[in-house]
Amino acid sequence: MGQDQTKQQIEKGLQLYQSNQTEKALEVWMKVLEKSSDLMGRFRVLGCLVTAHSEMGRYKEMLKFAVVQIDTARELEDADFLLESYLNLARSNEKLCEFHKTISYCKTCLGLPGTRAGAQLGGQVSLSMGNAFLGLSVFQKALESFEKALRYAHNNDDAMLECRVCCSLGSFYAQVKDYEKALFFPCKAAELVNDYGKGWSLKYRAMSQYHMAVAYRLLGHLGSAMECCEESMKIALQHGDRPLQALCLLCFADIHRSRGDLELSQLKLHCLSESIYRSKGLQRELRAHVVRFHECVEETELYCGLCGESIGEKNSRLQALPCSHIFHLRCLQNNGTRSCPNCRRSSMKPGFV
């Protein structure tokens, strides 16, 4: 496969990836990797594979392709390519929580001789280093790295980098318990998405919404937290972003725990897990969560005694009777009886929910 054909196949893969046909895009890129003799094309497709596996949460595969990309960069004998490949190696280790290795590879990036890509990638190197320091709870160095990344973003008018840094700063301030700033920075990231993010991946909107949800929950604004988390989860499900799906599930559980409705948190967890596994076609895991969801419904008696549908899964008007049995209002209106359908008590006078 020559240079022109390699370029065409890479672009074909990008189009598939942008239209959420991820597996087909991966097939196209893997064929390029197997058949292409063009080193620059191979380097570029390895970058695509690193990014795709990162967004799918396949971090070991991400690391594998990052290592191959470094070997390719060395063959090309180009400092710009070497810088980019070391950055991908740092990111891979960051995702795998190998924070000491992440910092080491970031320092390698910063120690490379000046390159054309240095001005563009320097901010991303600082961001990755900041995330690693934050993972190690070295807060002062984390903040220094984030501030450095932010300066890179401002100096180069890089709104996308600024958005990512703001999300990381939201996480930083959440950990040090400055919840006002933990909300301020993700809100700033959301503004950047609205102002500049028309051509960006939706993951940036999902990322800002997730960090806003965390901050709102910590501030006790649970309604806003739920709204932001639902928006983030919707995008994560649409794009198959499994790491973000997992974070949203944890956030949902924390929101319900803050409300004190622990049973509902379990219901929400199993319902969302069911959606994830259904979209992935993982039948065994899907069945397990369907069964557990219905067990939770039975345990909490959160179902309508007339139509049998679970209560709380959808927005609907409910009616509690003096005997404490709960039904859909529409079901009671259509039933026509003068006693509770469950216990047959004669009074149908509404009670209080």
CATH of the domain at 192: 1.25.40
pTM summary value: 0.70
pLDDT at 98: 94
pLDDT at 342: 64
pLDDT at 62: 94
- Of the residues 225, 241, 258, the one at which a domain ends: 258
Domain count, the chain: 3
If asked whether residues 214 and 181 sit together in one domain, one would say yes
pLDDT at 184: 96
pLDDT at 246: 83
If asked whether residues 180 and 231 sit together in one domain, one would say yes
pLDDT at 349: 44
Q: What are phi and psi of 319, to 5 degrees?
A: -140, 125
Which residues have CB under 8 Å from 282's CB, separation 6+?
none
If asked whether residues 319 and 270 sit together in one domain, one would say no
Residue 56 lies in a domain: no
If asked whether residues 238 and 270 sit together in one domain, one would say no
Residue 267 lies in a domain: yes
Residue 279 lies in a domain: yes
If asked whether residues 188 and 248 sit together in one domain, one would say yes
Residue 55 lies in a domain: no
Structure tokens, 166: 């703001």
Q: What are phi and psi of 201, to 5 degrees?
A: -65, 145
If asked whether residues 328 and 295 sit together in one domain, one would say no
Residue 194 lies in a domain: yes
C-alpha angle 125/131/133, rounded to 5°?
Answer: 100
Q: What is the residue range of 284's domain?
A: 261-300
Residue 50 lies in a domain: no
Asked if residues 84 and 49 have their Cβ atoms less than 8 Å apart, the reply is: no
CA atoms of 103 and 93, how far apart (whole Å): 9
If asked whether residues 186 and 215 sit together in one domain, one would say yes
Residue 135 lies in a domain: no
If asked whether residues 318 and 295 sit together in one domain, one would say no
pLDDT digit of tens for each residue in the chain (353 aa)? 677 888 888 889 888 887 878 889 999 999 988 888 888 989 999 999 998 888 777 889 999 999 999 999 999 888 888 899 999 999 999 999 999 999 999 999 888 776 555 567 889 999 999 999 999 999 999 999 999 999 999 998 999 999 999 999 999 999 989 999 999 999 999 999 999 988 787 889 999 999 999 999 999 999 899 999 989 988 888 777 778 888 888 888 888 778 765 555 565 666 666 666 666 667 777 677 666 655 655 554 556 767 767 655 555 566 666 665 667 777 777 776 666 766 655 444 443 33
Residue 273 lies in a domain: yes
If asked whether residues 236 and 218 sit together in one domain, one would say yes
If asked whether residues 293 and 233 sit together in one domain, one would say no
If asked whether residues 230 and 292 sit together in one domain, one would say no
If asked whether residues 292 and 336 sit together in one domain, one would say no
